[in-house]
Amino acid sequence: MEARRVLLELFDAALRAVDGRACVARFLRETKLPGSVAVFAVGKAASAMAMGARDALGDAIHSMLVVTKQGHSDPELDRGAGVLQLETAHPVPDASSLAAGAEIETRLEALPPHLLPVFLVSGGSSSLVESLVEGVSLGDLQELNRRGLAAGWDIATLNSERAKRSRLKGGGVARILGKRRALALFISDVPADDPDVIGSGLLGQARGQPDAIERHVIANVDVAVRAAIEAAHARGLTIAARSTRFDADASAVAVDFLAALRTTSADGLVWGGESTVKLPEKHGRGGRNTHLALSAARTLRAGEPLLILAAGTDGTDGPTADAGAIVDADSIDRASLAGCDVERAWREFDSGSALEAAEDLVHTGPTGTNVGDILIGIKRSGTSLRGQPLPRML
């Protein structure tokens, strides 16, 4: 169990480094905004980011609109004056997403001149708020999302298609603001940390229209990776990182990661990125991280002293409540002994059921961040009694 605990500690260190509340509070305290502000927080980490704004700005906040995924809101926010917190749909938008989009439009258009709009944007925003262009129906948008997710489109492609159908995305908010000054802070889950891509460009720049929005990316997967490496070093372990994000099919990433883990001279590896999956018409419970983990488990050799964690930094893997999983060379046998047909589960993308049978799933609940996915692999022999446990466990 020691090696599994080490993996959880390293993942926990990565999450704390990109915590939405802490990152927003740190930035805003250093920036010292003048006057009163209106906060708009959207995304899976919206509630945590909004709490960070409250920590830093206090009574300077005139109003706050928070839109987040169902189950990701913070009840503490609801006790504050001038706060409206909405839970909407993810990963496929519904009528609640349209209602949230209408609320944002209404508030922006009626915003008093003396208030500085402060936007806090994290991954998941694409589905959570929407206002459709003329001729596009909610059904059209839902079909686009389902088709893109099932086909394994990368996030940039999917967000680009979403923006074409939206009055808010692709620079839509910037168009509403015109030349009005605003501040936008981002927790990025996309390659290159491009504000024009994060949340389908909810706070991106409108094409050909200069604006007065000051944009800052305050957390990304690279920060999380560095934190995992530093936490490993504190235990006397050497963990190597990949120089680029992973973004290929989950099964292919699993093969590449295992090959790199087997050959590294370090005690382990940590990669950040986001894999893709192409779902068959019939599929079971799971997401890209559990499918990646099960793919790795199928490839591990009997007795091989390797452990691999694959997990989403937002605490959810696709439509599940699982963050991901930790697998080893015995995972397949444990699942089989529990009565699971592992090969069927892998073929039908029912990885969550297989890894639940193996008792390998990782649960964190909503984490207050979303910078993509983390892969951490360690060699069991490299962890024997090195260092001391880190201060906090998941």
Question: What integer pLDDT is reported at residue 241 of this predicted model?
Answer: 97
More confident residue, 153 or 11: 11
Per-domain residue ranges of the chain:
2-15+222-383, 19-219
Strand arrangement, sheet containing 83-88? 83-88, 61-69, 37-42, 116-122, 181-187, 212-219
CATH for the stretch 2-15+222-383: 3.40.1480.10
The residue-averaged pLDDT of 118-140 equals 92
| Least trusted range by pLDDT, from 51-60, 190-199, 256-265 | 190-199
End-to-end CA distance of the chain: 15
Question: What integer pLDDT is reported at residue 174 of this predicted model?
Answer: 96
**Model confidence over 164-177: pLDDT tens digits?**
889 999 999 999 99
Of 92, 150, 102, give the one whose Cα is nearest residue 126. 92
Question: What integer pLDDT is reported at residue 1 of this predicted model?
Answer: 54
This prediction has a pTM of: 0.92
Mean pLDDT of the chain: 92
Whether residue 228 contacts residue 199, with contact meaning beta carbons closer than 8 Å, is answered with no
pLDDT confidence of 115, banded at 50, 70, 90? very high
**Model confidence over 361-389: pLDDT tens digits?**
999 999 999 999 999 999 986 544 244 44
Dihedral of alpha carbons 38, 129, 217, 213, sign: negative
How is domain 19-219 classified at the CATH fold level? Rossmann fold (3.40.50)
| Least trusted range by pLDDT, from 54-63, 103-112, 125-134, 288-297 | 125-134
Q: Is pLDDT of 17 > 90?
A: yes
**Model confidence over 255-283: pLDDT tens digits?**
999 999 999 999 999 999 999 998 877 78
* Three-state DSSP state, 276: strand
